[in-house]
Chains A and B, each alone.
Chain A
Amino acid sequence: MTKQERVENMQRLSGTDVRKCMKCGKCSGRCPAFKEMDIKPHQFVSMLERGKIDELLACDAIWNCLSCMACVERCPRGVAPAAVVEAVRDTVVRMQGKNGITAEEIPPIVDEFIPQQLLVSAYRKYNK
Chain B
Amino acid sequence: MKISYYPGCTLKTKAKELDVTARLCAKALGVEMEEIENWQCCGAVYPMGTDEIATKLSAVRALDYAKHHGGKLLTLCSACHNVIKRTNEDMKSNEDMQFRANNYMKLDEPYKGETEVLHYLEMLKNVIGFDVIKKAVVKPLNRKIGAYYGCLLLRPSGVMAFDNPENPTIIEDFIRAIGGTPVTYPFRNECCGAYVSLKNSELPKQKSRKVLMSAKEKGAEEVITACPLCLYNLQANGDGILPVKYFTELLAEALGVEQ
* A interface residue numbers (CB < 8 A to B): 12-15, 32-33, 36, 63-64, 66-70, 72-73, 80, 82-83, 86-87, 90, 100-101, 105-106, 109, 111, 113-122, 124-126
Contact = CB atoms under 8 A, between A and B. Distances in A.
Contacts of A66: 151, 191, 193-196, 203, 207
Nearest to B80: A117
Interface stretch (B6-14, B68-76, B138-146, B174-182): B6-14
Q: How large is the interface on B (under 10, 10 to 19, 20 to 34, 35 or more residues)?
A: 35 or more
Interface of B: 8-10, 13-15, 41, 43-45, 47-51, 55, 77, 79, 151, 155-157, 165-166, 190-191, 193-201, 203, 207, 227-229, 231-232, 235-236
A125 B203 contact: no
Contacts, number: 134
24 contacts: A15-B50, A33-B196, A33-B203, A64-B200, A66-B193, A66-B194, A67-B45, A68-B190, A70-B151, A73-B157, A73-B165, A73-B166, A83-B48, A90-B49, A100-B199, A101-B199, A116-B9, A120-B44, A121-B43, A121-B44, A121-B79, A121-B194, A121-B195, A122-B199
Given A66-B193, A69-B155, A124 B43 contact: yes
A115 B203 contact: no
Given A70-B155, A121-B79, A124-B44, A114 B199 contact: no
B10 A117 contact: yes
A114 B232 contact: yes
Contacts of A12: 50
B48 A86 contact: yes
A72 B50 contact: no
A87 B49 contact: yes
A64 B196 contact: yes
B22 to A, nearest CB: 16
A115 B45 contact: no
Contacts of A68: 151, 155, 190-191, 194
Contacts of B232: 113-115, 118
Contacts of B51: 13
Contacts of B10: 115-117
A116 to B, nearest CB: 5
A63 B197 CA distance: 10
Contact of B199 (A63, A72, A73, A113): A63
